[in-house]
Homo-oligomer: A and B are copies of this chain.
């Protein structure tokens, strides 16, 4: 089976989703796409590498779910609606089991998010997945990192740290407790991007980012882009009972502050928007965890209101880094 047959068999299936924003689908030198009048295109590219972004020997389903989740989350952080995507897949061999799982998760995501797969690349080599995702947003309405203002509230969606807990469950192979930690594992293996929330935040949030590197690391990107600082109440970070069961309260808060891969949204909003934000749907839960300051430092207070220098070190702010 050469790469053309692999592409036909797994990625150009008869039930492949498409829509009227696609003028020319995959199979030509380029896909040709339409953008509705008055809208702009959001584009992001993320690479996932075996052993770094997903465990060695992870299934095709997990690899696809993590790649798609991470990329959709970048659209969510802009308040964008998925438009289409391309997938560049490099695999060491043609493994039907792996490819079937990968393709099926990709096909479901494509359908669920009305996001046709419009092109890509298949090559032989060490396993890696590069997704380029495209979204659309009303012109001028994209949520940026740079809009946070002094005294704005800081919110996060859902629970933080679950993906870090899930990674521990997967890596340490806590199989005997599989059912108990199923939610944590799923949060790591099949992250759900907050697309609807991002759309709802247009006109409410002043700045937004998705939590991929870790809450403090990602918040610090917003602060830097906006030229401001923040004060965060560690004790207010939302943590799930499953994570507390796994790590204890202190461990859960540490994971919430610095763990990566949650793909929740962290956003700022003026105090005047509190009522509007409370009116948003309950799912995901939104938690106010701090406020923006004029001083450009990022301060983390514990339950007693004392500044915790441990959380303000460079290492925890940076999140995962590829090169030291």
Contact = CB atoms under 8 A, between A and B. Distances in A.
Interface in A97-120: 118-120
B32 A137 contact: yes
B52 A124 contact: yes
Contacts of A35: 35, 40-41
Query: Most chain-B Cβ atoms within 10 A of its Cβ — which of A77, A93, A125, A140?
Result: A125
Interface in A130-169: 130, 132-135, 137, 139-140, 142, 144-146
Query: Most chain-B Cβ atoms within 10 A of its Cβ — which of A41, A93, A123?
Result: A41
Interface stretch (A42-50, A54-62, A245-253): A42-50
A8 to B, nearest CB: 12
Contacts of A93: 323
Interface residues of A, number: 72
Contacts of A81: none
A113 B317 CA distance: 38
Number of copies: 2
Contacts of A202: none
A323 B78 contact: no
Interface in A306-324: 318, 321-324
A189 to B, nearest CB: 20
A27 B119 contact: no
Contacts of A3: 321-323
A30 B80 contact: yes
Nearest to A34: B40
